């Protein structure tokens, strides 16, 4: 359901008329060559579309208006090949609503020391041309990323790829519909928030739906569709004996399949990209959706439990950014600690709803049924598995009252110290960076939620770019985090956001 290949970033080169037609033709040719090279890299998931070199204020204004209107254009790469007097850019950039990255590169990597003359100098002017442009962007207070280096440098291309993924997530959120099925878990604070501000800031609309709307979809699912889906379950998963065709709980598996089909139909009919539910509001459903939510997440839907629409939207954004990359992305919760001084760990899990995209490869997830201690419904069916190991990030988005704040922690997923035969939910065990005491203290001081979006496909860089594009506060917790410095950052940010606030 997520396709990044249809999206475009526009490669736009700035210049000016003074150089004459011959130089401008060369500028255009060079730009095409760079765009083709960058666009052909595996690091970039979107199309890179070259635009003609920009030499007048009117052309720049028209280009920015066209970018705003282009439905598949997620953002722009801007590069001043030659000097491009930056007042020409004011009108266009004032109107531009798409994010842009300033690529500070030079067509020729090296100075040809023995042959360099003024012709070469005039075609390799970005060292000063991009500074003129940078001044204007800073003067205008424009949020953007600046990437420095030669265009064939894999690190530069990689950064463009990361940024373009964040631009795709931002684009995906514009006009996105998020279904809040039921409301919030009663009395919970962190899952609440300002949906009006969220729509203004991020572009997605969160609206509430009665569970009855979903139940109607579940009840209209035909028996043959249920037959087909439970057969798929039988093939895809290691099905517990009681849930197999002759098992005594087969009826519960059919109920779970019916819930998946009904929920999927509800989401498809409504054009939703993410959703929430809450175990306190299950009237008309036999079980809390478990495998249904897990499989919908695996198909690209964002999800947040207990009405957590901010996390649902963040899971969706991170799934967009992670499309095509190795490693999964899931709704997650810091559930239980292992406080052994030799390696303090977090066991991440939820009541049911962990996405099988993060499952350890090589074996089928186990499809099981167990009681749920809260909610008062029939036992829910769920997929149980361990997460694959390696680096990952946990990200949260909280509403501070006057702004949104994103907090990201780098973690290392490790195998559980021992098998967990009695744990009836999917889980990931990780060592937070720099270590649990500092990471958890920083997270708590920052007001980070217990729910997160967890990803093995993304790095802090993706979330930095996303936060920059959305204009949202970002706090990162990683190897270099010191609590003393982190506390200062929190205090300074209060002042910064108090003043710069909602620009």
Q: Which residues bind Mn ion (CB under 5 A)?
A: 305-306, 333
Are 188 and 450 a contacting pair, CB within 8 Å? Answer: no
Give the DSSP H/E element, type plus range, for residue 212.
helix 211-219
Q: Output the smallest distance, CB 305 to Mn ion, in A.
A: 5
- Is residue 397 classed as helix, strand or coil in its secondary structure? strand
Classify residue 217 by its DSSP letter.
Answer: H
Give the DSSP H/E element, type plus range, for residue 30.
helix 21-39
Q: Output the smallest distance, CB 441 to Mn ion, in A.
A: 21
- Is residue 78 classed as helix, strand or coil in its secondary structure? strand
Dihedral sign from CA coordinates of 459, 460, 466, 468: negative
Residues 6+ apart with CB under 8 A from 143: 99, 468, 469, 471
Q: Which is nearer to Mn ion, 30 or 333 (CB)?
A: 333
Q: How far apart are CA 40 and CA 33, in angstroms?
A: 11
Q: Which is nearer to Mn ion, 13 or 278 (CB)?
A: 278
Q: Which is nearer to Mn ion, 27 or 407 (CB)?
A: 407
Residue 77's Cβ-side half-sphere holds a number of Cα atoms within 13 Å equal to: 33
Q: Which is nearer to Mn ion, 305 or 457 (CB)?
A: 305
Closest chain position to Mn ion (CB):
305
Q: Which is nearer to Mn ion, 277 or 386 (CB)?
A: 277
Are 106 and 27 a contacting pair, CB within 8 Å? Answer: no
Q: Output the smallest distance, CB 372 to Mn ion, in A.
A: 13
Q: Output the smallest distance, CB 317 to Mn ion, in A.
A: 19
Q: Output the smallest distance, CB 293 to Mn ion, in A.
A: 12
Alpha helices in 70-153 (DSSP H): 87-95, 118-122, 126-139
Q: Output the smallest distance, CB 350 to Mn ion, in A.
A: 6
Q: Output the smallest distance, CB 197 to Mn ion, in A.
A: 23
Q: Which is nearer to Mn ion, 161 or 424 (CB)?
A: 424
Q: Output the smallest distance, CB 334 to Mn ion, in A.
A: 10
Q: Output the smallest distance, CB 110 to Mn ion, in A.
A: 55
Q: How far apart are CA 457 and CA 243, in angstroms?
A: 33
Q: Which is nearer to Mn ion, 99 or 302 (CB)?
A: 302
Q: Reduced to 3 DSSP states, what percent helix, strand and coil does the chain have, rounded to the nearest 5?
A: 40, 20, 40
Q: How far apart are CA 147 and CA 135, in angstroms?
A: 15
Widest pairwise Cα distance in the chain? 85
Q: Which is nearer to Mn ion, 353 or 410 (CB)?
A: 353
Q: How far apart are CA 479 and CA 408, in angstroms?
A: 12
Angle at the Cα of 433 (from 429 to 438), degrees rounded to 5? 110
Q: Which is nearer to Mn ion, 305 or 393 (CB)?
A: 305
């Amino acid at each position: 359901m997520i396709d990044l290949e249809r999206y475009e970033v526009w490669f736009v080169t700035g210049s000016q008329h003074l150089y004459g037609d011959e130089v401008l033709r060369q500028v255009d040719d060079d730009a095409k060559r760079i765009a083709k090279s960058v666009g052909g890299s595996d690091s970039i998931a979107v199309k890179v579309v070259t635009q003609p070199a920009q030499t007048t204020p009117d052309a720049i204004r028209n280009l920015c208006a066209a970018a705003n209107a282009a439905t598949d254009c997620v953002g722009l790469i801007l590069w001043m090949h030659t000097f491009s007097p930056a007042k020409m850019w004011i009108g266009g950039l004032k109107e531009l609503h798409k994010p842009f990255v300033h690529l500070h590169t030079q067509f020729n990597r090296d100075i040809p020391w023995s042959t360099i003359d003024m012709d070469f100098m005039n075609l390799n002017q970005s060292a000063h041309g991009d500074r003129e442009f940078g001044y204007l962007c800073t003067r205008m207070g424009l949020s953007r990323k600046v990437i420095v280096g030669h265009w064939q440098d894999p690190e530069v291309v990689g950064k463009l790829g990361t940024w373009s993924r964040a631009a795709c997530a931002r684009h995906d959120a514009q006009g996105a519909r998020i279904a809040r099925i039921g409301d919030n878990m009663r009395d919970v604070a962190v899952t609440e928030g300002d949906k009006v501000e969220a729509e203004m800031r991020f572009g997605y609309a969160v609206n509430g739906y009665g569970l009855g709307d979903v139940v109607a979809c579940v009840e209209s699912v035909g028996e043959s569709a249920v037959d087909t889906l439970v057969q798929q379950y039988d093939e895809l998963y290691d099905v517990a004996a009681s849930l197999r065709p002759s098992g005594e709980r087969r009826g519960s598996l059919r109920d779970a399949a019916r819930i998946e089909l009904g929920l999927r139909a509800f989401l498809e009919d409504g054009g939703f990209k993410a959703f929430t539910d809450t175990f306190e509001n299950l009237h008309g459903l036999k079980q809390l959706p478990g495998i249904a939510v897990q499989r919908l997440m695996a198909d690209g839907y964002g999800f947040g439990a207990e009405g957590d629409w901010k996390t649902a939207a963040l899971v969706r954004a991170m799934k967009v950014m992670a499309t095509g990359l190795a490693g999964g992305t899931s709704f997650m919760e810091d559930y239980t600690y292992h406080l052994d001084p030799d390696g303090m760990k977090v066991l991440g899990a939820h009541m049911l709803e962990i996405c099988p995209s993060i499952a350890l490869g090589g074996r089928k997830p186990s499809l099981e049924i167990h009681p749920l201690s809260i909610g008062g419904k029939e036992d829910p069916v769920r997929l149980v598995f361990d997460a694959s190991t390696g680096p990952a990030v946990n990200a949260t988005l909280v509403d501070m009252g006057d702004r949104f704040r994103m907090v990201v922690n780098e973690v290392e997923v490790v195998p559980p110290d021992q098998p967990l035969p009695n744990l009836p939910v999917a889980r990931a065990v990780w060592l937070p960076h720099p270590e649990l005491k500092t990471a958890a203290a920083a997270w708590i001081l920052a007001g980070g939620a217990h729910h997160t979006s967890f990803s093995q496909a993304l790095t802090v860089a993706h979330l930095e770019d996303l936060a920059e594009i959305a204009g949202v506060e970002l706090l990162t917790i990683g190897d270099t985090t010191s609590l003393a410095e982190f506390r200062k950052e929190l205090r300074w940010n209060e002042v910064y956001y108090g003043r710069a606030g909602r620009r």
